[in-house]
Structures are given as C-alpha cells and as structure tokens.
C-alpha cells in the first residue's frame, strides 16, 4: 500500500517536472538543481558564482528551505532575481513548488536558473524539478565515506563540488579515496575542488556553467 502511494506521488511529480523542463527550454533557460547536506556551502558557492557570472550570463535563483528567507536575502544582495520557497516541513523541493514560482520570473530574460534545494543528502534527488542537471555540493569535512553511504545523489548528478578544501588540514578526509568512490558510482561525473571561502578552484566551475548555459548575446 505504501509503495503504491509513493509511486503515485513520484509519477505526478515527474509529469510536473516535464512541464517545468518544457517551460525552461522554451524560454531558453538552463536550470540546475543544487543539492547537498545542510551547511555544505551551497549558498556561499552561489554567492561567489553569481559575482563571477556578472556580465557573462543572466541568472535567476530559486531558494528552497524548510523555514526562513535567509538564503534568498543573501542572494538578493547580489542584485539577482530570487524567490524563496518555504516547504513548511518537507525535506525537499518538488516540481509543483517550483512551477508555482516560475511566473515570478521574467524567464525569457534569463539564461540560467539555479535552484538551491533544501539541505539534505537523501530526499531531494528523488524529486525531479525540471532541471537539465543536478549538482551535488559536498563539503569535504562531511567525510570521505559519504559517497558510498549516499550513492544515489552522486549517481544522478552531472557534477559534484567538493567544497571547503581550505579545511583539508583540519580533518582526516582522504581526497583520493573520496574522488575514487565518487567516480566508482558515476564515472562521468565532473568533480570541482573548491573553497568558496577563499575563492579557489572557481574558474573551472564557472567555465562548466558557461558551457551548459546559453551566454548573453
């Protein structure tokens, strides 16, 4: 019985996700779904990313959180159109929540829509939002055992940002093992090693974002 209900929920979500994908594509917008644990550094990475995309791409942001507009306020300070979704308890965004806020954007004026999902390494990956790419942000201090413990998010992601590499000397993470395990789950995944705090490693990440998006003409 429970399995049947879950299947229905996911089937409905998938239909709405396909509608969102069509809306994004018709507007010429590349949408990405950023996922990762609470505090992995998703919003910090977005802030540094938006600064660097100025003049190269027009980006919009959808922020997902259980409560508060704190992340949207951080993004708004960068002069980028942003809408905060509060799930009111749900541990992930779903396609319906995203669809409801799309009219708040002038999509035809955007090239890239970055959706920051609710901080969670498990649930968000089950719910497509209509994005072209899923991206996982894993801060290295979470531990090099995480890919094998939470494989689905790495399997479904096009790219993974290994954030907080500035803290490498302060934890026992083995970067070689970490990258080996990620690639064993998803051999095609792109890996970016970044410190959003010190702003290192961002060039390759920005280059990749430009490669998947339609630049401003």
Indicate whether 62 belongs to the interface with ligand GTP (CB under 6 A).
no
Work out what residue 166 binds among Mg ion, ligand GTP, none; the CB cut-off runs from 5 to 8 Å by kind: ligand GTP
Q: Which is nearer to ligand GTP, 39 or 103 (CB)?
A: 39
Indicate whether 130 belongs to the interface with ligand GTP (CB under 6 A).
no
What does the block give as tokens for 217?
């003409």
- DSSP per residue, the chain: -HHHHHHHHHHHHHHHHHHHHHHHHHTT-EEEEEEBSTTSSHHHHHHHHHHHHTTT--EEEEEEESS-SHHHHHHHTTT--EEEEE-TT-SS--HHHHHHHGGGS-GGG-SEEEEE--SBSSGGGGS--S-SEEEEEEEGGG-TTHHHHSHHHHHH-SEEEEE-GGGGGGS---HHHHHHHHHHH-TT-EEEE-BTTTTBSHHHHHHHHHHHS----
Q: Which is nearer to ligand GTP, 39 or 215 (CB)?
A: 39
Indicate whether 84 belongs to the interface with ligand GTP (CB under 6 A).
no
Identify the residue among 28, 38, 103, 215 touching ligand GTP (CB under 6 A).
38
Q: Which is nearer to ligand GTP, 16 or 72 (CB)?
A: 72
Q: Which stretch binds Mg ion (CB under 5 A): 42-50, 100-108, 127-135, 183-191?
A: 42-50
Residues 151/156/158/163 CA torsion (nearest 10 deg): -40
Q: Taking CB under 6 A as the rule, which mask of x and - marks residues 145-184 in contact with ligand GTP? A: ------------------xx-xx-----------------
Q: Taking CB under 5 A as the rule, which mask of x and - marks residues 46-85 in contact with Mg ion? A: -------------------------x--------------
List residues binding Mg ion (CB under 5 A). 42-43, 71
List residues binding ligand GTP (CB under 6 A). 36, 38-44, 71, 119, 163-164, 166-167, 195-197
């Amino acid at each position: 019985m429970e399995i049947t209900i879950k299947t229905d929920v996911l089937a409905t979500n998938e239909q709405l996700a396909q509608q969102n994908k069509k809306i994004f594509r018709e507007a010429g917008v590349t949408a990405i779904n950023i996922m990762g644990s609470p505090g992995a550094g998703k919003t910090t990475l977005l802030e540094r990313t938006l600064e660097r995309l100025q003049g190269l791409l027009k980006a919009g942001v959808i922020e997902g959180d259980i409560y508060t507009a704190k992340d949207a306020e951080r993004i708004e300070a960068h002069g980028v159109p942003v809408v905060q979704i509060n799930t009111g308890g749900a541990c992930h965004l779903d396609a319906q929540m995203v669809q409801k806020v799309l009219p708040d954007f002038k999509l035809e004026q955007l090239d890239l829509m970055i959706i920051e999902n609710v901080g969670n390494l498990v649930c968000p990956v089950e719910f497509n939002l209509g994005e072209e790419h899923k991206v996982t942000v894993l801060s290295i201090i979470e531990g090099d055992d995480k890919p094998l413990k939470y494989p689905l998010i790495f399997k479904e992601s096009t790219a993974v940002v290994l954030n907080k590499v500035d803290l490498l000397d302060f934890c026992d993470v083995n970067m070689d093992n970490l990258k080996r395990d990620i690639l064993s789950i998803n051999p095609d995944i792109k890996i970016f090693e970044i410190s959003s705090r010190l702003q290192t490693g961002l060039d390759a990440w920005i280059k990749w974002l430009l490669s998947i998006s339609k630049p401003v003409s």
